[in-house]
């Protein structure tokens, strides 16, 4: 529903009232008023799949298929450089980009998640912090048991923060063993948290998994009891129609990452079929190393356009639905929809203001159409999280642009010679 000439009243970080602009005179005289006459106010965008710290690897290895990209470039670079400091600095950079693009919540999967949590709290952004699991050793942990132990300790350290939530983040079926998946299933139930993993991203992943285990990755997860409303299947590009039905019947969610899927030539996800089956499809950017921009406006536009082309139907994923994929659907996938994802009385005041008054956006017949097909992240002017401004007139309220730029350049100088 679109309302014109309305006011959102915020008290104690929550939406207290939604009323016509004429009701401003009834508010207390000391009420702070922010007037944005050329703007549309939307729920803060929810990015359901990131590797935020990989902003420091943006452009490091372009134009390669997924497994070559990982094996020959990303994993070796991570082995040399990833540390608590790397993750803290890279996540700071990513958060600044996301806030300036209207994103108020991101769901992360990366090493040293305690550094991700620290950066999120420092910036005042909302984040779901992944407790990552892999079988092989990295700079962060030695084996799956060590990953999970460290992730659980991180959760204990940071839980209680209103802007932080947590999920279990096994990397993918090809990097996680059955015994680890079984333990993750038990932990997810015990802790009441989502499970966030890459699934059916590439054709090779599905074929290799089938050859090695005798079943397709989704069927393997089903046999291990991992399919439930807790599961956020990231990418979900290569699905057969029966598999779409299985995901739908178990109430699973999908994080659709159109830009990353295109750049890595992973394919085009069957979004229209998933939505028609009743699957909750949300949007994610993936990391800046495989997308190059953490831009949810770009993901909305691509999700709508690709779905139309893939289904050969112009009416699938219309603008209003694409906007929902980037807001409420993401909140629902993260089990945060009671608190964020829509502008409703009682919910947290996580809000984004977009200026639709520019020449390039005039005239405006339908704000949702402009948001999805015409506007860009550069039209975002103001962002609030829990009612606190984190972006005013495109300036980060907690930002240190010079510091972030210098930090990124310092890391770039370290990484570049070893490419």
C-alpha to C-alpha distance for 147 and 171, rounded to whole angstroms: 11
Q: What is the pLDDT of residue 400?
A: 84
Q: Which residues of 163-184 are buried (b: 16+ CB within 10 A; e: fewer)?
A: bbbbbbbbbbbbbbeeebbebb
Q: What angle do CA 335, 161, 157 make, to 5 degrees?
A: 105
C-alpha to C-alpha distance for 135 and 177, rounded to whole angstroms: 7
Would residue 301 count as lying in a domain?
yes
Q: Phi, psi (5° rounding) for residue 342?
A: -155, 160
- How many domains is the chain built from? 1
Helix (H, G, I), strand (E, B) or coil at 96: helix
What pLDDT tens digit does each residue of the chain (419 aa) get? Answer: 788 889 999 999 999 999 988 877 777 778 888 999 999 999 999 999 999 999 999 999 899 888 888 899 998 999 999 999 999 999 999 999 999 999 999 999 999 999 999 999 999 999 999 999 999 999 999 999 999 999 999 999 999 999 999 999 999 999 999 999 999 999 999 999 999 999 999 999 999 999 999 999 999 999 999 999 999 999 999 999 999 999 999 999 999 999 999 999 999 999 999 999 999 999 999 999 999 999 999 999 999 999 999 999 999 999 999 999 999 999 999 999 999 999 999 999 999 999 999 999 999 999 999 999 999 999 999 999 999 999 999 999 997 889 999 999 999 999 975 44
Would residue 163 count as lying in a domain?
yes
* pLDDT digit string, tens, across residues 48-85: 999 999 999 999 989 988 888 889 999 899 999 999 99
**What is the dihedral sign for C-alpha 67, 71, 74, 79?**
positive
Match 């972006």 to its residue by tokens. 391
C-alpha to C-alpha distance for 263 and 147, rounded to whole angstroms: 29
C-alpha to C-alpha distance for 303 and 279, rounded to whole angstroms: 15
Range(s) of the domain holding residue 153: 45-333
CB atoms closer than 10 angstroms to residue 293:
16
C-alpha to C-alpha distance for 246 and 257, rounded to whole angstroms: 21
Q: What is the pLDDT of residue 28?
A: 76
**What is the dihedral sign for C-alpha 98, 104, 108, 114?**
positive
C-alpha neighbours within 13 Å on the C-beta side of residue 215? 11
Would residue 384 count as lying in a domain?
no
Match 């802790």 to its residue by tokens. 191
DSSP one-letter code for 111? S
Would residue 189 count as lying in a domain?
yes
C-alpha to C-alpha distance for 171 and 360, rounded to whole angstroms: 41
Would residue 247 count as lying in a domain?
yes
Burial of 191 (0-12, 13-18, 19+ CB in 10 A): middle
Strands (E), 69-149: 103-108, 126-133
Would residue 32 count as lying in a domain?
no
C-alpha to C-alpha distance for 61 and 256, rounded to whole angstroms: 22
Would residue 59 count as lying in a domain?
yes
Domain of residue 73, CATH code: 3.20.20.140
In the structure, how many helices (H) and strands (E) does the chain have? 16, 15
Q: What is the pLDDT of residue 417?
A: 56
Helix (H) or strand (E) holding 353: strand 351-355
Would residue 212 count as lying in a domain?
yes
CB atoms closer than 10 angstroms to residue 222:
16
* pLDDT digit string, tens, across residues 205-247: 999 999 999 999 999 999 999 999 999 999 999 999 999 999 9
């Amino acid at each position: 529903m679109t309302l014109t000439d309305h006011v959102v009243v915020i008290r104690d970080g929550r939406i207290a009232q939604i009323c016509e602009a004429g009701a401003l005179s009834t508010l207390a005289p000391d009420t702070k008023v922010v007037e944005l006459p050329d703007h549309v106010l939307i729920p803060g965008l929810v990015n359901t799949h990131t590797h935020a710290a990989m902003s420091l690897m943006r452009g490091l290895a372009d134009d390669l298929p997924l497994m070559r990209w990982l094996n020959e470039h990303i994993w070796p670079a991570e082995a040399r450089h990833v540390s608590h400091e790397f993750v803290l600095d890279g996540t700071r950079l990513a958060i600044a980009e996301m806030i300036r693009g209207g994103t108020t919540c991101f769901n992360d999967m990366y090493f040293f998640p305690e550094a991700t949590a620290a950066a999120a709290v420092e910036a005042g952004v909302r984040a779901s912090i992944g407790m990552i699991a892999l079988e092989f050793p990295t700079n962060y942990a030695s084996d799956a048991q060590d990953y999970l132990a460290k992730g659980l300790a991180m959760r204990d350290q940071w839980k209680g923060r209103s802007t932080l939530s947590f999920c279990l983040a096994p990397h993918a079926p090809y990097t996680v063993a059955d015994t680890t998946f079984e333990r993750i299933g038990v932990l997810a139930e015990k802790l009441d948290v989502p499970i966030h993993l890459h699934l059916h991203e590439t054709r090779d992943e599905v074929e290799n998994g089938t050859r090695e285990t005798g079943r397709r990755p989704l069927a393997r997860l089903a046999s291990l009891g991992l399919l439930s409303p807790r599961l956020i299947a990231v990418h979900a590009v290569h699905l057969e129609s029966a598999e779409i039905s299985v995901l739908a019947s178990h109430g699973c969610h999908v994080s659709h990452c159109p830009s990353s899927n295109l750049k890595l030539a992973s394919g085009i996800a069957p979004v229209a079929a998933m939505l028609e089956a009743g699957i909750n499809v949300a949007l994610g950017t993936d990391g800046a190393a495989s997308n190059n921009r953490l831009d949810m406006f770009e993901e909305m536009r691509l999700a709508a356009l690709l779905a139309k082309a893939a289904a050969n139907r112009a009416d699938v994923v219309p603008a209003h639905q694409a906007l929902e994929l980037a807001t409420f659907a993401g909140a629902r996938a993260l089990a945060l929809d009671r608190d964020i994802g829509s502008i409703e009385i009682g919910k947290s005041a996580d809000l984004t203001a977009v200026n639709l008054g520019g020449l390039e956006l005039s005239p405006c017949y339908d704000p949702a159409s402009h948001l999805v097909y015409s506007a860009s992240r550069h039209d975002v002017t103001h962002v609030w999280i829990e009612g606190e401004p984190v972006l005013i007139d495109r300036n980060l309220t907690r930002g240190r642009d010079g510091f972030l730029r210098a930090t990124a350049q310092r890391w770039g100088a370290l990484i570049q010679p070893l490419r």
